[in-house]
């Protein structure tokens, strides 16, 4: 395959992925993994495909602002393939210095012609050359500004979300948070404490020429700075670690599991927290992991086997419909609730375009129902931890406050008392809260509740 054919294929694949993200509301990382696992791309092309897909999603708001100015007809009514072809090309021209403008335009025109013929390729050519000729750039708003439209255009976030964050956080948080969301999340691992420790795993990585450092907040976390295929590493195959984001690791410390206990992970897939619970229990006791997704249950079982954990049992079930036999059964319960995921935009930039306030409201109802059922499954004096990877008051404090108002036998405990010493500052009042711009983690929230009767 020649260089031009190779790069053209990468751009074609990028457009196809972004079309599915648009139309099917699919997750970009899953689609990318499917393409990359075919093994037909060189390392250079794999890197370029990943850069184009994620970069275009991160900066789509700013890119679309320019495209709407350049198209006479409604940009929203443009064919999805052509729309995303224009997006990836503007991303390359505006953000990637190593790709010559003429090459990006020529390949876009060729793909447009292949997809829809000469008339459409002429349209694409005109739009792109007009963009280059007019040398359009975005003007950064004042860092202390709360002008939502200007922030949305420059930092490439939807206006409804910025409005929500101004109310939830503070005006001074907004620009740093939006900027942080447009950076790539670090790849973080959790050491399998049943088989090794962090210092030993760091030494093993060093021996293999892999650059890695301990995380700031989690005592079991490691940040990988080398780009390596994780599943091909010997340490991975030997079950010495699990891929898990740092803030997610900290939630398990709030649960504070003890050996010999009976614990429920109510929304468990893909099993990062499930396996962490088992490790902190020294693999002694029983961890029941439930999830509505059969694929998710399969993934939990695969991880448990690879990590050598025997205390985990899985149950393919909807937690809101568990049998009465499960009531007052568990010492501790983790509800890592389905949520809007707006704290994970560094890893999943498509979420900001595929979610709206209606989705948040729908999820709040589900979160309340899950919490109510989980509380029924908890023993007296048991611990219930509610967590989300989102940053909305509706899904976080409001859900907990409403739940406590309706369940007088549960009380809120201070999260800082259970976090590792180095992470005790990651709180908002009695709640655990991690923020991308302050802590270089995903945005995470959690509450620790005790059943007093």
Query: Of 111, 134, 157, which residue sits at a domain end?
Result: 134
pLDDT for the residue 323? 58
Confirm whether 190 is domain-assigned. Answer: no
Confirm whether 143 is domain-assigned. Answer: no
* Residue 160 and residue 60 share a domain: no
* Residue 320 and residue 250 share a domain: yes
Confirm whether 57 is domain-assigned. Answer: yes
Confirm whether 19 is domain-assigned. Answer: yes
* Residue 398 and residue 421 share a domain: yes
* Residue 424 and residue 330 share a domain: yes
CATH number at residue 274: 3.40.50.150
pLDDT for the residue 5? 55
* Residue 127 and residue 53 share a domain: yes
Give the range of the structural domain holding residue 406, as residue numbers without chain letter.
246-451
* Residue 250 and residue 173 share a domain: no
pLDDT for the residue 111? 97
Q: Measured between alpha carbons, how far is 66 from 70 in angstroms, rounded to an integer?
A: 6
Confirm whether 201 is domain-assigned. Answer: no
CATH number at residue 57: 1.10.940.10
Q: Which residue among the candidates 339, 364, 377, 389 is catalytic per the annotation?
A: 389
* Residue 366 and residue 280 share a domain: yes
* Residue 116 and residue 152 share a domain: no
* Residue 412 and residue 269 share a domain: yes
Q: Indicate the pairing of strand 286-291 with strand 312-316.
A: parallel
Where does residue 289 fall: left (phi above 0), alpha (psi -120 to 50 degrees), or beta otherwise?
beta
What per-residue string of b and e applies to 66-76 under the rule 16 or more CB within 10 Å gives b?
A: bbeebbeeebe
Can you count the helices (H) and strands (E) in the chain?
A: 19, 13
Q: What angle do CA 44, 350, 360 make, to 5 degrees?
A: 160
Mean per-residue pLDDT pooled into runs of 10, the chain (453 residues): 60 97 94 88 91 98 94 85 97 91 94 94 95 87 84 96 94 94 96 97 95 98 91 93 98 98 96 98 97 95 97 92 73 97 98 96 96 94 98 98 96 98 98 98 98 88
Number of domains in the chain: 3
Confirm whether 228 is domain-assigned. Answer: no
* Residue 301 and residue 346 share a domain: yes
Confirm whether 55 is domain-assigned. Answer: yes
* Residue 101 and residue 166 share a domain: no
Would you call 364 a catalytic residue per the annotation? no
Q: Is 385 helix (H, G, I), strand (E, B) or coil?
A: strand
* Residue 165 and residue 114 share a domain: no
Tokens 């335009």 correspond to 105
Confirm whether 206 is domain-assigned. Answer: no
Q: According to the 3-state scheme, what is the secondary structure of 84-130?
A: HHHHHHHHHHHHCCCCCHHHHHHHHHHHHHHHHCHHHHHHHHHHHHH
User: In 183-245, which residue ranges form alpha helices assigned H by DSSP?
Assistant: 198-207, 234-237
């Amino acid at each position: 395959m020649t260089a031009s054919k190779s790069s053209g294929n990468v751009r074609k694949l990028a457009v196809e992925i972004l079309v599915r993200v648009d139309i099917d509301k699919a997750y970009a990382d899953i689609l990318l993994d499917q393409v990359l696992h075919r093994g037909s791309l060189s390392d250079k092309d794999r890197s370029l495909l990943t850069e184009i897909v994620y970069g275009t999603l991160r900066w789509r708001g700013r890119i679309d602002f320019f495209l709407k100015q350049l198209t006479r007809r409604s940009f929203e009514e443009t064919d999805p393939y052509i729309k995303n072809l224009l997006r990836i090309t503007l991303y390359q021209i505006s953000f990637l210095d190593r790709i010559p403008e003429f090459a990006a335009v020529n390949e876009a025109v060729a793909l447009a012609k292949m997809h829809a013929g000469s008339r459409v390729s002429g349209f694409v050519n005109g739009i792109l050359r007009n963009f280059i000729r007019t040398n359009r750039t975005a003007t950064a708003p004042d860092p202390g500004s709360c002008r939502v439209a200007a922030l949305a255009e420059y930092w490439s976030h939807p206006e409804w979300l910025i409005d929500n964050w101004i109310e939830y956080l503070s005006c001074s948080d907004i620009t740093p948070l939006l900027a942080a969301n447009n950076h790539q999340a670090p790849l973080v691992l959790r050491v399998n404490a049943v088989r090794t420790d962090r210092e030993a795993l760091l030494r093993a990585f060093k021996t293999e020429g892999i650059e890695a450092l301990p995380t700031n907040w989690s005592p079991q976390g490691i940040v990988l700075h080398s780009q390596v295929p994780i599943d091909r590493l010997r340490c991975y195959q030997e079950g010495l670690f699990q891929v898990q984001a740092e803030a997610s690791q900290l939630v398990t410390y709030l649960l504070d599991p003890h050996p010999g206990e009976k614990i429920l992970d109510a929304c468990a897939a893909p099993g990062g927290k499930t396996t962490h619970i088992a490790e902190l229990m020294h693999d002694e006791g029983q961890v029941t992991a439930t999830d509505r997704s059969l694929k998710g249950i399969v993934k939990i079982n695969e991880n448990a086997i690879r990590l050598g954990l025997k205390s985990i049992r899985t149950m393919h079930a909807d937690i809101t419909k568990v049998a009465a036999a499960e009531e007052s059964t568990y010492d501790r319960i983790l509800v890592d609730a389905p949520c809007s995921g707006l704290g994970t935009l560094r890893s999943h930039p498509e979420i900001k375009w595929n979610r709206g306030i209606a989705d948040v409201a729908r999820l709040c109802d589900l979160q309340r129902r899950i919490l109510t059922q989980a509380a029924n499954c908890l023993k007296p004096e048991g611990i219930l931890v509610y967590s989300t990877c989102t940053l909305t008051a509706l899904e976080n404090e409001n859900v907990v406050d409403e739940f406590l108002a309706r369940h007088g036998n549960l009380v809120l405990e201070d999260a800082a008392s259970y976090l590792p010493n180095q992470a005790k500052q990651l709180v908002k009042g009695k709640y655990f809260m991690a923020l991308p711009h302050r802590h270089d983690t995903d945005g995470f929230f959690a509450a620790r509740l005790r059943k007093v009767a």
